[in-house]
Chain A
Amino acid sequence: MPFMKGFKKSNKKTKAAAPSQKLAAHEHDQISGNLEDTIAFINDLLGANMDLTVRRFHVFGKYQAVMYYFSNMINQTVVNTDILKPLMYIPPHLEGKNLEIQQLEEVLLNDTLYHSEAKMESQLSTLVEGILRGDTVVAIEGIKEALIIATRTIDKRGIDQPATEQVIRGPREGFIEMLGTNIGLLRYRLPSSDLRIESMEIGRRTKSKVAICYMEGITNPELVKEVNTRLAKIDIDAVLDSGYLEQFIEDNHLSPFPQVQYTERPDKIVANLLEGRVAILVDGSPLALVVPTVFNQFYQTVEDYTERFLMMSAVRLARLVALMFSLIFPSLYVSIISFNPELIPTEFAVAVAGGRAGVPFPAVIEVLIIEVSMEVLREATIRLPQQVGGALSIVGVLVVGQAAVAAGFASPITVVIIALTTIGSFATPAYNAALALRLLRFPLIMMAGTFGLYGVMIGLILIANHLLSLKSFGVPYLSPLVPGNFQGMKDLIIRGPLSWMKNRPSFLNPVDKVKVGDVTAGEARNGSDSAQTPSTNEKEKEG
């Protein structure tokens, strides 16, 4: 995305011409009241589509009317029984009365239609957009407005377990593609009047609905404003996934590190909202974005908080080790083998040298070859059909690895190192962060090959400096480690008990800072200590 700036400018010039040109030309045209005119207009725009249904009928048996909808986007039963039927039959209490054409409008909305989401609209372009969205439009001869009724029913998949973020202990729901369902899932977990969901349409052609969620009274208003400005600036043809938006609103396009977190778990979104972050949901994407994001979010999981703190602190430490492994293990190996073999114990050094005896390449080439083949294997496993995937990956990794060693192509230690690295990179919960570390491993290996440990350190310093200069929506990327914040450090390397973490993260500048009440933090377990102790129970029994 580094060239985005250049592209943006050239895009703007063509803005007027691009989306639905015919519609744009008639943007301010009103409905005329002449039914045939309206029919001609809509047929001209949409008539060529086989799925457009045009149904002429008579309202209350006398007024000419027409109904438009896309037959595959609506619920046929609703249209038949709740719209068409009441429109054809005059309501019993109005029977026999002579309705003026002016009155008809009122009567239709207030007495006739059995549908809650109906409104009158006079703009022709709005009507067409409504049809395109899946609404049903009813135009009546002599009335200068048309009915637009929300009848959209798109088939959707059920709410599944989140595929990429599974937990052992914790909720099992994941977002689906439908924005409405996703918002429902959020509201269900957060029935608070403070939850604000603002909406925006992005994408000139796709007109994707984007929902910006935040907690009023917790989230810093400046942050919400910033998110809105950044989103409003996006001018793109299509937003097919939240990933499109991520690439426009992130701070540094060139950085390998993700500056926006994505998740498909409603509970994670709710937790983030309550910390004072802003969530962005896009219609059609099961992945919601969370901003601002700091690095430590990438190795935290939902389970860290649902399971007890001591165990999860240990698990989190293991995860951190895996994260470091996936970044530096191969480069450390290369530099020690080729530059400083005196560092490792002699017996081991002899074993390593024995293993490498038949290998013709220097360590760095050997590691690079195996690393690249591992990447190829990994990519292939994703693309493979599920039926053969498992079998083939076993063949790939086990057999090829074993054969490579037997053929004298690689040393056993190298295979061990690469295997550990690969497994380590899978232990990082966030796929996008693991991807960044996976990529950075290669320059580090090359640095190790040229300068040894010195080169590895130089590379790590460059990476660390980059991380330190990185910001996500103004929040330093490594907070709360740097700039230091004692409160935040309780949830950094270990996961402190929930009662320790009384405040929301201060780097998000939340309006309301306190998360856990004082009483809960201190005395939740003190009150009823003796309720079930054996002695009292026995006394009761005796008495």
Chain B
Amino acid sequence: MEEQRQITVIQTAAILVSTIIGVGVLPLPLFAVRAGESAAPLVTLFGMAVASIGLVLITWLGMRFSNKTIIQYSEDIIGKWAARLGSLLIIVFFAVLTSLTAREFGEVVVTSVLKSTPVEVTVIVMLLLAAISTRNTITTFAYIHHFYFPLLLVPILLIAFLSFKNAEVINLQPIFGNDLKGIMMGTMTIAALFQGSFILTMVIPSMRKPEKAMLASFWGMLIAGGLYLLIVVAAVSVFGAEEIKNLLWPTLELAKATSLPANILERLDAAVLAVWVTAVFTTLLSSYFFTIYAITQLFRLADHKMFSFFLLPFVFIMAMLPQNIVQMYDIIENVGRIGLYITIGYPGLLFMISILRKKRGNQNGDESMDKIG
């Protein structure tokens, strides 16, 4: 374990950003606009704030128990059996999240590019890709995220900045929207899109300097949230709230509406979608990796590789359960809201109990914390 402490702060931040940003970016403006119309950027900001609370909680917990993952330290905090129940919930949740991500992207590909390919094929291809890639150590996992990080920034920034020439500021007003209650609900939906940040609980024990995890989560949240905000602002300012309500994947439409200077590529959407495969892949990899890594630790096994293909049929069947896109998005929103209890509520509970019971990590962790403090 000690040898494996190789992940740097930059890599951790990259893991966070590329895990958070995935297929969720495509319908993001739609979710935000449904909740708050022209207040969509505000909704995104609120969602980011809620997600930050969760991230700060798990970072604090991770730094308190800098040698353990959430599966391991939850047992220290609330006892073996209660913790195992909690861990099981987390595992199931992330397995579901994996399958939904794969299904969502499968639908996107089938709808917009490979129109005659069955959705099962695109889903299984994505899942296979993720499963093969989980058969690596956590260090390689970090390398993978680090490597794809630029590929994720470029298309978002490109689309956002190129589309600003069609933007109308009037579309963004009134900034505070008209419906406060809707904003609250929407905040939760957007916050659910940040759930990938939970991967941090697995990464911290392998960080070279766990005491700097907070810095990583700050940057991770700032970059991911900033990109989310940028996309929402760009989509709303180009299309306007009412138009977006009729679009399933406004970000993709944004890509269609923009074109590169000098007419190198006539349309961007297929190219953007192709590059976006990497972003979806990193998200999928994270949740898949999280699932099998958590299972390994729950059963106290040493090698997580054996689970990567064992889990595949289950995830695939779950991915195929929704009947159509509409039902899928209903499930995604519901699962996302339930997920908030698991990714924010549960760590919050653990955090409070650990403070009340004055539980801390092992001696080494304490020392390093004290030095910093």
Given contacts A461-B281, A484-B146, contact A456 B274 (CB under 8 A): yes
Do A453 and B143 contact each other (CB < 8 Å), given the known contacts A340-B113, A461-B278?
no
Set of chain B residues within 8 Å of A345, measured between Cβ atoms? 263-264, 266
Q: Is the interface of A mostly helix, strand, loop or mixed?
A: helix
B15 to chain A, nearest CB (A): 12
Q: Which residue of B lies closest to A335 (CB)?
A: B274
> What's the least CB distance linking B82 to chain A, in Å?
37
Whether B274 contacts A454 by the Cβ 8 Å rule is: yes
Give residues of chain A (442-482) contacting chain B, Cβ–Cβ below 8 Å: 451-454, 456-458, 461-462, 464-465, 468-469, 476, 478, 481-482
A468 to B271, CA, bound (A): 24
Once the chains bind, are A481 and B147 in contact (CB under 8 Å)? Answer: yes
Q: Which of A346, A454, A456, A483 has the most CB of B within 10 A?
A: A454
**Does A452 contact B278, Cβ atoms closer than 8 Å?**
no
Q: Contact mask B240-277 → A, CB, 8 Å, 1/0?
A: 00000000000000000000000111110011011101
How many residues belonging to A are interface residues under a CB distance threshold of 8 Å? Answer: 26
Q: Is residue A40 contacting chain B, with contact meaning CB distance below 8 A?
A: no
**Once the chains bind, are A461 and B143 in contact (CB under 8 Å)?**
no
* B111 on the A face (CB < 8 A): no
Whether B328 is near chain A, meaning CB under 8 Å from some CB there, is no
B132 contact set on A, CB distance < 8 A: 462, 465
Which residues does chain A contribute within 8 Å of B113, judged by CB atoms?
339-340, 452-454
Inside 8 A of A451's CB, which chain B residues have their CB?
A: 114, 117, 125
- The one of B148, B266, B270, B278 that contacts A346, using a Cβ cutoff of 8 Å: B266
Whether B214 sits at the interface, judged by CB under 8 Å, is: no
A340 CA to B266 CA, complexed, in Å: 11
B193-234 toward A: CB 8 Å interface, digit per residue (1/0)? 000000000000000000000000000000000000000000
Complexed CA–CA distance, A484 and B114 (Å): 36
Check B52 for interface membership: any CB of A closer than 8 A: no
CA distance A345 to B263 in the complex (A): 7
Contacts known (A339-B114, A344-B266, A461-B278); A454 close to B146, Cβ less than 8 A: no
Contact of B122 (CB < 8 Å), options: A454, A468, A478, A481: A454
Instruction: Enumerate chain A residues within 8 angstroms of B266, measured Cβ to Cβ.
Output: 342-346
Question: Does B11 sit within 8 A of A, measured CB to CB?
Answer: yes
Q: Are B147 and A468 in contact (CB under 8 A)?
A: yes
Q: Is the CB of A469 within 8 A of B136?
A: yes
B6: interface (CB < 8 Å): yes
Beta-carbon contacts under 8 Å, B119-178 to A? 122, 125, 129, 132-133, 136, 140, 143-144, 146-148
Give residues of chain B (50-84) contacting chain A, Cβ–Cβ below 8 Å.
none
User: Which residues of chain A have C-beta atoms less than 8 A from B143's C-beta?
Assistant: 468-469, 476, 478, 482-483
CB of B39 closer than 8 Å to a CB of A: no
User: Contact: B146 with A457, CB < 8 Å?
Assistant: no
Q: Is B95 an interface residue (CB 8 A)?
A: no
B342 within 8 A of A: no
In the assembled complex, the Cα of A342 lies from the Cα of B6 at a distance in Å of: 45
| In contact, A343 and B270 (Cβ under 8 angstroms) | yes
Chain B residues with CB below 8 A from A482, complex form: 143, 146-147
Tell yes or no: B8 within 8 A of A by CB: yes
Residue B30 CB within 8 A of the other chain: no
A339 surroundings in chain B (CB, below 8 A): 113-114, 270
- Interface residue tally on B, bucketed by range: 20 to 34
Cβ-neighbour of A461 out of B109, B140, B270, B277 (below 8 A): B277
Q: In the complex the two chains form, what is the Cα distance from A456 to B129 in whole Å? A: 13
Main secondary structure of the interface of B (DSSP, over half): helix
Which chain B residue lies CB-closest to A468? B143
Given the known inter-chain contacts A468-B147, A469-B140, A484-B146, please indicate yes or no for A457 contacting B278, CB distance below 8 A.
yes
Bound complex: CA A340 to CA B265 (Å): 11
The answer on a CB contact under 8 Å between A453 and B274 is yes
Chain A residues with CB under 8 Å of B275's CB are 457
CA distance A484 to B140 in the complex (A): 13
Is B298 located at the chain interface by the 8 A CB criterion? no
Closest chain B CB from A334 CB (angstroms): 13
Cα distance A265–B273 in the bound complex, in angstroms: 45
Asked whether any CB of chain A lies closer than 8 Å to the CB of B10, the reply is yes
Known: A343-B265, A451-B125. A465 touches B144 (CB 8 A): yes
Once the chains are docked, how many angstroms separate the CA of A464 from the CA of B146?
12
A461 and B263 in contact, given A343-B270, A452-B113, A452-B114 (Cβ under 8 angstroms): no
Closest to A455 in B: B125
- Chain A nearest CB: distance from B265 CB in Å? 5
Mark each residue of chain B from 281 to 305: 1 if its CB lies under 8 Å from any CB of chain A, else 0: 1000000000000000000000000
CA distance A314 to B325 in the complex (A): 48
Q: Mark A352-396, 1 if CB is under 8 A from B, else 0.
A: 000000000000000000000000000000000000000000000
Q: In the docked arrangement, what's the CA distance between A345 and B268, Å?
A: 11
| Pairwise interchain contact A484-B263, C-beta atoms closer than 8 A | no
The smallest beta-carbon distance between B271 and chain A, in angstroms, is: 6
Q: Which residues of A contact B144 (CB under 8 A)?
A: 464-465, 468
A344 CB → nearest B CB, Å: 6
Measured CA separation A343–B259 after assembly (Å): 10
Distance between B122 CB and nearest chain A CB, rounded to angstroms: 7
A461 touches B10 (CB 8 A): no
Can you name 16 A-B pairs with beta carbons within 8 Å?
A339-B270, A340-B113, A340-B270, A345-B266, A346-B266, A454-B109, A454-B122, A456-B274, A462-B129, A464-B147, A464-B148, A468-B140, A468-B147, A469-B136, A483-B6, A484-B10
List 10 A-B pairs, minimum CB-CB distance, nearest first.
A453-B274, A457-B277, A340-B270, A468-B143, A469-B140, A482-B143, A465-B133, A482-B147, A469-B136, A457-B274
**Other CB < 8 Å A-B pairs besides A342-B266, A469-B143, A478-B143, 9 of them?**
A339-B113, A344-B265, A344-B266, A451-B125, A453-B274, A458-B125, A461-B281, A465-B144, A484-B11
